[in-house]
């Protein structure tokens, strides 16, 4: 399978640059594209959901398998595959952080204005902070 085939299983796919796309994650209810897709020079496809879904959850929800993320020659010989130190470009990580920072800003402004903070507001804030941490980790910028 090629990256293009995977992209055909996803919604709101947007090209972010050569070999890079963003899309809505099929593993959770996603209104804004939180899934980063990257095709490496050797044909491997990398996925990262900034909402926290695992690769296994994403490929299952997309109706593909883990082996579909690797070209046939690499799927048979996994010992020769070299890991990526920072698999997602800083621009993708910053884009995710920028959106989630707006959620945090909105929550802070509401609190400062004395508006009531609901359980749903609290859940959105916790989710935004988690996504910021995931973005930092995906960019290789986190100690955790």
Per residue of the chain (144 residues), what is the pLDDT tens digit?
578 888 999 999 999 889 999 999 999 988 888 899 999 888 889 998 888 888 889 999 999 888 888 886 544 444 555 555 556 677 777 777 887 888 888 888 888 899 888 888 888 888 888 878 777 777 766 655
Q: Which of 14, 36, 16 is nearest to 25 (CA)?
A: 36
User: Which residue bears the tokens 């996803």?
Assistant: 10
- Predicted TM-score (pTM) of the model is 0.58
Cα–Cα dist 22/89, whole Å: 12
């Amino acid at each position: 399978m090629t990256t293009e085939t995977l992209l055909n299983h996803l919604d709101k796919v947007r090209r972010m640059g050569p070999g890079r796309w963003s899309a809505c994650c099929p593993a959770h209810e996603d209104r804004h594209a939180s899934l980063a897709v990257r095709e490496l020079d050797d044909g491997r496809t990398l996925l990262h959901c900034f909402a926290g879904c695992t690769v296994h959850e994403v490929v299952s929800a997309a109706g593909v398998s883990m082996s579909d993320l690797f070209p046939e020659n690499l799927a048979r010989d996994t010992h020769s595959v070299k890991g990526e130190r920072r698999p997602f470009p800083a621009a993708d990580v910053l884009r995710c952080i920028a959106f989630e920072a707006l959620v945090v800003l909105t929550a802070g402004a509401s609190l400062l204005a004395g508006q009531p903070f609901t359980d749903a507001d609290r859940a959105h804030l916790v989710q935004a902070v988690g996504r910021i941490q995931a973005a930092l980790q995906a960019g290789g910028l986190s100690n955790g």
